[in-house]
Amino acid sequence: MTKLIIWHLDDTLWRGTLAEGDEVTLDEHLATAVRTLNEQGVVNAICSKNDLEAAKAKLEEFGLWDAFLFPEISFTPKGAGVARIISDMQLRPHDVVFVDDNPVNLREVGYALPDIRVIDATTTQELHTFLADLARSTEGGTSRVERYRLLERKRSDQTASAGSNEEFLRTCAIKMTVVERSDNLPYAERIEELINRTNQLNYTKSRVEPGSMQEEIVATSRNFTYSAFVWDRYGDYGLVGFASVRHRRVLEHFLFSCRTMNMGIESAMAAVVSQRTFVTEYPVPAELPDWIELVPQDSEEFAAHAASTLQETGDAEVRIMANCQSAALAHYLPGIRASFDNYPRVFTLAGFHRHQYFPGKLANTLVYGAFVDYDQSYWGGVPGLDEYEAAARGFVAFAAEKDSELVVLLPPEAFSNENEASGQTPERYAAANNIWRGLAETHDRVSVVEIADHVHDTTVQDPRHFDRDLLVSLSLTLAQRLGAARA
């Protein structure tokens, strides 16, 4: 896939030889192609035997100087110049095209970089056909010029620096935020693009089917996903890394954009993932470099940097509070803007009752999975039914005070994986369910949804975790109920 075109100037981008005093004439067709491809994500550079200042002045006269990155304009061999551009832009020769009118230059570059594609500018038909095909294949892409400008500025500063690469990195103020699990859902499209387009730093070489990433992210009981956002004093790199661990043990995806090559981002990500999963072997050292600062996901600083990647959807109409099931329920909820809990931003009745703490934002409708709080997980011991009922009544009063409708998802009461010590028994679940049923009968803005009505088998194994079909069915029921309430 072509990511970069490197152009010669004389008798290629323009007609005539600038160093010989010719009055050069711009090839308007090629100039238009350069501008168009820049907008579509294929960037352009220059490697030309010319005087830098004279060539820059002429390109500025044509309004084209800013259309090119990493200009190698000097009277030096072309092979080395092209190789330097590719290295500085952290690309592979396979993804680069070099255009020149001189067959000697073409052979030199082809010899130095066997995987590069070279095009003779004098073969006008071949060149124009290539550019037209490339423009069609990248139509709708996104400009990457500004992102490569970051590398260009960093290269200039690093060249001027007298210290080592690590010493230079310590001056860059590199910051990184790792987004976890279902909070990656808004970035699914970018993650999928990164997985399927990254070759150089795709350590597992894994790919995904187009359109499948959202389903993979919301399957939080199976997939633990992590994305990396990076910025420094030069600018914002966006979402540049992704890791996915299946069942907390198998590293399925581990890949990074070449824009952050040699910054230590891979090691920083491995260090974070190693702390949160059981994976112990990584293709890079799992160590946080001392020049990278981890910034919390819930910080205002990260929110400002994530804004360009996150598509704004407006305020949520519904808040889904069902622990690790939340993202899937929100994802399958058709036509309704929903926010959702994701660990550690999780609502628990225990936390609300004991600390009056409500994480995240309210919404017009609160969908609460009561099964989150039926055992001892968040109580520090199995609570008595009197304490549990007092907590439930307190939450109902809070929702009424905030003018929020409360929809409570009640878990099945017939299940096989009982654990009496933790409070996970059918009797306990039936008693807690009856508390919510009673509250729904006496409060107009409280209602319940019986998850058992969506279970195909008589008995389920786990009353707190549900398969995809059940989650889809639940979400459709919620959508119908919410739609009827608005009618």
CATH number of the domain that 190 lies in? 3.40.630
Indicate whether 311 pLDDT > 60: no
pLDDT digits (tens, 9 = 90+) for 260-310: 888 999 999 999 999 999 999 999 999 999 999 999 988 889 988 776 565
Residue 404 shares a structural domain with residue 332 = yes
- What stretch of H or E contains 223? strand 223-232
**Residues 322, 297 share a domain:** no
Q: Give the pLDDT of residue 486.
A: 54
480 and 356, same structural domain? Answer: yes
Rounded CA-CA distance 381/365 in Å is: 30
Tell whether 238 and 340 lie within a shared domain: no
Residue % of the chain over a pLDDT of 70: 96
Residues 107 and 143 in one domain: yes
CB contact set of 235 (below 8 Å; sequence gap of 6+): 146, 147, 149, 150, 153
Q: 322 and 302, same structural domain? A: no
Which CATH number does the domain housing residue 464 bear?
3.40.50.1110
The letter for the amino acid at 93 is P
Q: Are residues 112 and 238 in the same domain?
A: no
Could you tell me which residues come within 8 angstroms of residue 305 by beta carbon, excluding any fewer than 6 positions away?
177, 229, 231, 236, 238
Question: CA separation (Å) from 405 to 319, 402, 451, 481, 484?
Answer: 10, 9, 19, 12, 13
Which of the listed residues 252, 278, 306 is the one where a domain comes to its end?
A: 306
Query: What is the tens place of the pLDDT at every residue in 17-53?
Result: 998 889 999 999 999 999 999 988 899 999 999 999 9
- DSSP state for residue 384 in the 8-state scheme: P
Closest to 61 (Cα-Cα) out of 20, 25, 111: 25
Q: Does 124 share its domain with 268?
A: no
What separation in angstroms does the CA of 222 have from each of 28, 215, 247, 252, 274?
Answer: 54, 11, 5, 12, 17
Number of domains the chain is built from: 3
25-26 and 14-15 beta bridge pairing = antiparallel
Q: In terms of domains, do 300 and 322 share one?
A: no
Residue 485: pLDDT band by 50, 70, 90 thresholds? low
Same domain, 293 and 365: no
Of 306, 333, 355, the residue that ends a domain is 306
- Considering the domain architecture, whether residues 444 and 345 belong to the same structural domain is answered as yes
**Residue 66: which domain range?**
4-147
pLDDT of 484 = 59
Are residues 322 and 301 part of one domain? no
